[in-house]
Every structure is written in structure tokens, then in C-alpha cells.
Structure 1
Amino acid sequence: MSKPSNPYTDNSFVSSDLKTILHSKRANIYYLSHCRVMQKDGRVLYLTEDDKANLYYNIPIANTTSILLGTGTSITQAAMRLLSQAGVLVGFCGGGGMPLFMGTEREVYVEWMTPQSEYRPTEYIQGWMSWWWDNDKRLAAAKQLQIARVAYLQAVWNKDSDFKRWGFDSNIDAIQKLLNDNIQQIDKQTEVMHLLQLEARLTKQLYKLATQNTGYDGFTREHDGIDKANGFLNHGNYLAYGLGATTAWTLGIPHGFAVMHGKTRRGALVFDIADIIKDALVLPLAFICASENMSEQEFRQECINMFTKHKALDYQFEVVKQLAMTKWEV
């Protein structure tokens, strides 16, 4: 008698069947809207409707970090099974990469669905938890996170010729002084809330710099703002959150064990990790693309290209792993 088929394993695979690509080396973040994501012949596809025919497009799941499902999307159980096996994070969001209102109307975030793998590394969560309960050590880790954020901005703005053409150059005296002053102030802070305030002041000064460099006059940061700069900032930030969620999940550290935003948001470790690269990449790109009147799709592609070019995910992994394994002396 032939062996009966198993609907839960047919057209499936084991992780070892894929050519292993480290999450830090994966290239793709997908934002999908008005399509259906499905499994076909062991592959994950998305289907769009055309006037004359349905169009199928392959998603290279072995080289994908996260997928954002926007307005008008659906996904099948079989596709979710394959994405889980490939270690791809799936997030549900609003149109254009903006978040849905989840839970209450006052709290806005992307709802991330993480693959349920019990075979992620244990050393990083064990290292993280060895100091996380200590307020002083958690503050020390938060300071190191802020130093890493400024160091990444200095490095990117020092070498990226596209940014330099728009005046985002860390060798300029005024910018150099701004960043050096911020680093000096980081070590003087005695509470995490003071660090958050210091971070917010630097970002506000960078907004002012960006408006001057791009001629985007009259800018005010408003998360619900309808102008392109605000929209692009929101959009790019949520792409960065995808990288942050990927980093934390891959290293096996639950999103609730934050060092900066823990008192203000759920799943705040994602925000902590995303902040490492947001000001360096998303902020200048949002103003540059807005001043050039780019579309959302063009801006999204510019963001993803910059994440890859400057190895944003690599850097996030490096910083978080170092924090997890540090033996803090405070």
C-alpha cells in the first residue's frame, strides 16, 4: 500500500535543503500590496491581477529578511509555513509601509510574526539576561548603543559620495562638532530617560541640518504629517524596524528586553536596534528623496539599496552581539 500524502509536509522542505545564507548577509526586504502570497511547487510567489492575465512573481525566501504585507494583501497557510522554515519575518502594516492601528487607537506599531524556531542560538539571550536586570548595567548598555549609533553615522557620512553631495558629510566642522559634543554628553547621563532626551535633541538638530541641505523649508516632524518628508521618514523607519526585528529574532533575544525604549513601548528592543542606523541612512534619504519628488516606491528602493550598500544589518548584528557578550563593570 502506498504511503498516504501528508498535507503538512507536501511541497515543503527542511531548512538544510536551502543554501544557507546568514540573516546578516541577506539582501531583501519586500513590501507587498494588493496581491495574494501563496505557495506553488515549493516556492513562495505573489500573485497580482492584470487586465488580461494573472501575473506571478517569485520571492527568493532564502535571501529575504522580512516581508511587509500592506493594503489589500492575503497570504496562505502553505506560504507562511515555507516562510517560517526559511526564517523570514512577516509583518502586517498599513498602506505604503505605514503601520496599522493595532490594539488601541493610541498605539501604533507593525505586528511582526516571527518563525517559531527553537534552534536559535542561546548564548546571546543568556549573555543579555546576565546583566539586563541590573539598572546600572542596562544604562551602560544603553550608552554603548548610543555611541554605536553616532559612530555609524560618522562612518557612513564620511564615505558616501551621494550623501556628501547634499552636505551630509561628517568631515564638515559643524557636523563633526555636533557629533563629538553628543558623544561627550552620552557618558554624563545618569538615567535612560536622559539618554532618550539627548537622542531626541540630536535627531532634531539633524532634521534642521537636513532641511538646510535640501531646501525643504518649513519642516516640522509629525508622524501623521501628509508632506513627503514626514511620510518618507515613517516609511523608512518601518523598514529599519524590519531589520531590527530580524536581528533580535535571529540572535534569540525577545523583543521586550530593551535598554532604551522599554518604559515607553512594547517590543521596544526592535526600536533600540533600528535606532542604530535610522539617523545615518533613513533621515538624509527621506529629505533628499522628498526634495527630488520621488515616489514611495522609488524612496523604498533607495532605502533598501542603502541598507545593503552600508551593511546596516551586519552592523546591527555586530553591535547587539557585542552588547550581549559584554561583562559590564559599573
Structure 2
Amino acid sequence: MGTALEYLSDLKAILHSKRANIYYIEKARLMVKDGRVVFLTEMKNEFQYWNIPIANTTVILLGTGTSITQAAVRMIASAGVLLGFSGSGGTPLFAGNEIEWVTPQSEYRPTEYLQGWVSFWFDDDKRLKVAKAFQEYRIEFLTEIWHKDKYLQNAGFYMDDAEIEDALTRYSQQVVQAPTVNELLRLEAQMTKRLFKYAAQKTGLSGFTRNRDEPMDAVNTFLNHGNYLAYGLTATCLWVLGIPHGFAVMHGKTRRGALVFDVADLVKDAIVLPLAFIAAKEKMKEREFRELCLQNFATYKALDYMFTCVKKHAIGFIQQEDYPV
């Protein structure tokens, strides 16, 4: 029989970039039972326990009507899983240290990534270059997925549509020429509006207007929901690399969590945006939409992609393979 220390070490055996699961749980109690983290639900006249494979989990979102024991938090932290408290459906996030998430505290994460990140961050020109690079990665990820995803193509989303080709080509050219981060943000907002318009046309939802704060329709609700799932992956990536959320390259130095938005944008347009419109058209329930998003995050290795993009600019003189995540 292994020691408790060996067991806790085993919980982190699966690298974060390779983990498969994100959980959203509501109306349940999380606890430790027989050495495992489980959640307890009440089903009419009986209670049911469901196991959470924390060693293969990146994020757990606790929705309304949930509670959690100290023992469960301790085991979750030992496995390096981020914990977030949210409203119904996974949004918005209510509380958590480190801006949005209760992070498993560890002083043994690598410092090299943070050192590499801050080596350029205080230079406005270098930070702008990284912001531009992130926009190029965003375009590359969208292009790759929309080129080969049959589900999206069946819904009318094609990369060889002249409208999309023109929008992405023009945006890529504008990104290169943008003189400031503020101009980059303006161009990014215009590009996102074009993608919203395209998605609305393809799904017959042409009256769509983006409303983040008070979503009154299915598309906005799904967009918020999917975005927060992406934020969970991003928070995991940044925590593992030891880079604080305040070191944003694009969304502004006045928002402590802005780097989460920067990195999440790498995958949101490619996956969350089209799926939100398709799910609204097909009148999916939130649970179905969530499962669809998570399946696509896993299929297209969204977390892997985040790690790759962030590490590329964080490692500097470090060899990436020396510090696997």
C-alpha cells in the first residue's frame, strides 16, 4: 500500500494540458467518500453518489444549491483542480480568490514562465507584438477547425465562404498594421461583430444583438456559458504556468483578470461562437450545449493550444520541453 504522499502525487500524474474533464454541478453536495471526491444528489426517495475523477479534471464549477466539504476542497487542491463558484448554468462567476477562481495553492510551480512573461511585459512595443501574435493564433485556430469540422459545415459554416475569407484576411492585415493596443481592440471588436453577423445569417437568427450582462435570449445565454467554460481552461493554463491574470497583453492593465480574456479569445470564436448560434437554432438545453462545447474543447485540444501559445512567448530562452505541463 502506498503512502498518502505517494497517493497525492499520483493525483497530478496526468498533465493539465492532457486532462479531459470540466464539471458544472448544481443542487448537490461535494464530499469525500471512500477516499474519492463525489457529489451527492437527492433523487425522490433516495440519494445517489457520483464520482469525480479529479486526477483527470481541470475545472469544477459549482452552481446554485451546492455545498462542499473541507476534505473535498483539500483533495481537489491536491489534484491541481481549479474551483469556481457560479450562478445557474455556469455564469456569472460570483466569488473566488485569484480574481475568478479558487486556485490550488502550490509554491512549487515553475517560475521561469512568469520571469519570461514579465521580461517583455513592461515594454509597450513588445507587449503589442505579443497581442498581435495572439490575434494571429486566434485566426489560425478558427481557420483550422472550420476547415474540417463536419458539424459546423452541416450548419453552413464554411471557411471558403467569400465573406469569411475576406473578413479574416482583412483582419490579419489590419492586425499587422495596428499602431496601438487600443486600435487592436477596436479592430477585434469589429471582427467579432462580423463573425456574429455571419453566424446569425447562417442560423436564421438575424435579429441577434450581443448582450453580456442581461442575456434575454438563448444565443447570449449560450455565449456567456461557453465563454466561462473557456475562461476555466484559461485559468488552469495560467495557474499551471504561474502567470498572474493581471499581466494582460491586450484587454488592459486596469483589469486584474484581463489575461484570462486574452487567452480565452484564442479558442472562443472557433468553438463557442458558432456552437452557441447552432444550439439556439436547434433549441438545445443548456446541458446539451455545455456537453457539445466540452466535447469540442477536447476534440480540438483547446487547452493544449492555449499552453502552446502562452508558452511560446513566456519561455524566452527556456527550452519548452524542459518544463512539461
Separation in 2, partners of 1:118, 1:41: 29
Within the candidate set 8, 18, 22, 1:25 is matched to 18
Matched residue type, 1:135: D
Q: Does residue 315 in structure 1 map to residue 308 in structure 2?
A: no
Question: Distance in 1 between the 2:55 and 2:15 partners?
Answer: 9
TM-score (norm 2): 0.92
- Matching residue within 168, 172, 178 for 2:167: 178
User: Which residue matches 2:90?
Assistant: 97
The 5 Å alignment of 1:12-161 reads: 14-18=7-11, 20-100=13-93, 111-161=100-150
Taking structure 1 as reference, are residues 217 and 177 closer, same or farther at Cα in structure 2, changes over 3 Å only?
A: closer
Alignment partner of 1:265 is 2:255: yes
Gaps of 5+ in 1: 1-9, 104-108
Using the TM superposition, give the Cα deviation of residue 12 of structure 1 relative to its aligned residue in structure 2, in angstroms.
Answer: 7.7
Offset, 1:110 = 7.3
Q: Secondary structure at the match of 1:112?
A: coil
SS in 1 for 2:83: strand
Q: Distance in 2 between matches of 1:64 and 1:225?
A: 29
Question: Could you state the TM-score of these two structures normalised by the residue count of structure 1?
Answer: 0.91
Aligned counterpart in structure 1 of residue 267 of structure 2, from 262, 277, 301: 277
CA deviation vs aligned residue, 1:83-126 (integer Å, no higher than 9, x gap): 011000000111111114569xxxxx973011111111222111
| RMSD over equivalenced CA pairs, Å | 1.8
Map of 1:213-232 to 2, 5 A cutoff? 213-223=202-212, 224-232=214-222
Shift in CA distance, 272/302, structure 1 to aligned 2, threshold 3 Å: same
**Residues 227, 110 of structure 1: CA spacing in aligned structure 2 closer, same or farther, 3 A cutoff?**
farther
Offset, 1:240: 0.4
Aligned to 1:253: 243
* Paired residues, number: 313
1: distance between equivalents of 2:217 and 2:264?
A: 23
Q: Is the 8 A contact 2:12 2:79 kept in 1?
A: no
Work out whether residues 91 and 110 of structure 1, in 8 Å CA contact, stay in contact via their aligned partners in 2.
no
Match of 1:169 in 2: 158
State the percentage of identical aligned residues: 59
Partner-residue secondary structure (3-state), 2:101: strand
Quote the residue 2:321 is aligned against: none
Deviation at 1:17, TM superposition (A): 2.8
Distance in 1 of aligned mates of 2:139 and 2:46 = 50
Please list every run of 5 or more consecutive structure 2 residues that lacks an aligned counterpart in the other structure. Answer: 318-325
SS of match in other structure, 1:266: coil
Quick one: distance in 2 between partners of 1:11 and 1:73? Answer: 28
Question: Secondary structure at 2:165's aligned position in 1?
Answer: helix
SS in 2 for 1:143: helix
Structure 1: which amino acid aligns with 2:30?
V
Q: CA deviation at 1:175?
A: 1.0
Does the CA contact (< 8 Å) of 1:35 and 1:73 recur in 2? yes
Secondary structure of the 2:37 match is strand
Contact 1:99–1:110 under 8 Å retained in 2: no
Looking at structure 1, the residues matched to 11 and 259 of structure 2 have their Cα atoms a distance apart, in angstroms, of 29
CA 1:102/1:54 → structure 2, altered by over 3 Å: closer, same or farther? closer
Once residues 210 and 249 of structure 1 are traced to their aligned partners in structure 2, the CA distance between those partners, rounded to angstroms, is: 33
1:78 and 1:201 map into 2 onto residues whose CA distance is 47
Output one character per residue of 1:10-47: Cα deviation in whole Å (capped at 9) or x when no partner: 98864323371111111100000010011112110000
The Cα offsets for residues 60-101 of structure 1, whole Å up to 9 and x where unpaired, read as 001000000110111111000000110000001111111145
Displacement of 1:216 after TM fit?
1.1
Contact 1:26/1:63 (8 A) holds in 2: yes
Counterpart amino acid of residue 24 in structure 2: Y
Paired position in structure 2 for 1:4: none
* Local SS of the residue matching 2:177: coil
Query: Any conservation in 2 of the 1:12–1:42 contact (CA below 8 Å)?
Result: no
What is the rounded CA distance, in whole Å, between the counterparts of 1:147 and 1:227 in structure 2?
A: 31
Match of 2:178 among 181, 185, 189: 189
